[in-house]
Amino acid sequence: MNEVDLNGLLKRAALTTPKALLLSTESAFREKLRSDDGRARRWRFFIRMLLIGSLVSGVATAGIVCWRLASQDKTHTTPPTMRLFREAPSI
């Protein structure tokens, strides 16, 4: 069976289906979509929690890394030696 035969078969099947059955199925499907949004709400909640969790973990990781690097930095613990204090000024 090629694509042309399949398309013809599907068209014949669609034409032989009673219109009342199609309309009742379509209206039932639309009604279910209108009334059943529980799955969508659960997915939105899951995605929202996933984004919030990744944001919190990213900020926490950045804070820990910055704190660790700042605690190991010895640049500002001792003041730099200035030339003025190393030599006596010549008068």
Chain-centroid distance of CA 67 in Å reads: 27
Higher pLDDT, 84 or 42: 42
Q: How far is the C-alpha of 5 from the C-alpha of 15, rounded, in Å?
A: 15
Domain definitions of the chain by residue range: 1-60
How far is 91 from 12, CA to CA, in rounded Å? Answer: 112
Could you tell me which residues come within 8 angstroms of residue 9 by beta carbon, excluding any fewer than 6 positions away? 1
Per-residue pLDDT band at 73 (split at 50, 70, 90):
confident
Q: Which residue has the higher pLDDT, 2 or 22?
A: 2
pLDDT digits (tens, 9 = 90+) for 24-46: 677 777 777 777 777 788 889 99
